[in-house]
Amino acid sequence: MVVESRSRSRGGRRRWGTVARVSTLPSYAEIAALPSYSERPVPVAFEDINGHMNVRYYLGIASEGLDEALTEVGIPTNWADKGFAIFSAEHHLTYVAELLTGDTVSVRVLLVGRSERALHLVVYLLDDTHEQISCIVEEICLHMDMSTRTTSPWPEEVASQIDARVAEHQALSVEPTLSGSMSLR
């Protein structure tokens, strides 16, 4: 299904045309009901020559919010000190609506699935000022053994917490926004 955003101006803000091939685009309210991470106003320093938040900051904010969310499933931000890490293998970003300086942005995370060594998830950047989804980041992460710098199976205690969170997210009425360009193997 191709999702098209409205082309009309909304409060002086233009929404972009066809955004991508995705499953379905959930409502702001559905995604906003998930726990919030990395909430902040967009600073002037993030603005580019087009007058909106520069592309490089979308992934950075998504990554910070994801790091916060992963602590809840047993993956601390200092995991490398214990000999483990998460490496990103794939990303797919879909820009839905621009963020401007001063807009409040926050992150929501949906865990889609897990394999022996990988995690499939979707990160939503919300424009809380205008109550709309701004960006969707679909990602595949790999569990790494830092002593060999190769993938390794998830530790059992982490795997069970990820599985519980995946089941919790699958029980929600929210369908994750998937690009179709990646999946677990």
pTM for the model stands at 0.87
Residue 154 burial class via C-beta count within 10 angstroms: exposed 0-12, middle 13-18, buried 19 and up: buried
Name the superfamily (CATH) of residues 27-170. Hotdog Thioesterase (3.10.129.10)
pLDDT score recorded for residue 4 = 41
pLDDT score recorded for residue 23 = 52
Q: For residue 165, how far is the Cα from the chain centroid? A: 15
Say if residue 41's pLDDT is above 50.
yes
Say if residue 109's pLDDT is above 60.
yes
pLDDT score recorded for residue 2 = 41
Say if residue 7's pLDDT is above 90.
no
Phi, psi of 177 (to 5 degrees): -85, 105
**Distance in angstroms (rounded) separating the CA atoms of residues 67 and 77:** 6
Would strands 9-10 and 37-41 be described as parallel, antiparallel, or unpaired? unpaired
